[in-house]
Amino acid sequence: MDWVFPGLLAVITAILLFIFRHSINIYGGSGIISRILGFVQNLPGFYIAALAAIATFGRTDIDNMIPKPTPTIVEVRAGEKNEIPLTRRRFLCMMFAFLTAESVVVILASIAALSIAGDYAGKASESFKLFSGGAFVLYVFFFYQMLIATFWGLFYLGDRIHQVD
């Protein structure tokens, strides 16, 4: 979910980018990055609201461990590693905290890309075009990762959290 599916989508995007490289508007005013920015810039508020709701949710069953195979995290304290199984609440809090941070990074990357692209419009060297194409594929990888994790979180909140252990 975190690496494979976003990676596959990014590879497909890279192939399409190469095939249609002369007709795709990536960095322009109505280009792909500008449109992604328009979509993503509202997400941090929603993610923070979801995080706050989950953190203060009054149902006690949300504090049960996730059924097997229970995901775990490794916590290091004073040099000692502890493997901690996740409750539904902790899993969802971690997911929406991650999504909040990732959406802010995608927003800042969008602003940076659009700002830099304006300086090189029409006069970019071939090496810069290659670099910017690679940077765009990395950018869409993180966008796809955020999108997939969002759908996963929505599925979990809408269905899995209500199922019995």
Region 66-94: what's the mean pLDDT? 91
pLDDT of residue 115: 87
State CA 117 to chain mean position distance. Answer: 23
- Cα distance between residue 128 and residue 118, in whole Å: 13
Helices (H) then strands (E): counts for the chain: 5, 2
Range of the domain at 130: 4-162
Residue-wise pLDDT tens digits, 26-76? 888 888 999 999 999 999 999 999 999 999 988 777 888 888 889 999 999
pLDDT category at 138 given cuts 50, 70, 90 is very high
pLDDT of residue 66: 87
- Cα distance between residue 67 and residue 106, in whole Å: 33
What pTM, to 2 d.p., does this model score? 0.85
- Cα distance between residue 17 and residue 11, in whole Å: 10
> What integer best gives the mean pLDDT of the chain?
88
How many structural domains comprise the chain? 1
DSSP reduced 3-state for 69: coil
Task: Please say whether the beta carbons of 149 and 95 come within 8 A.
Answer: yes
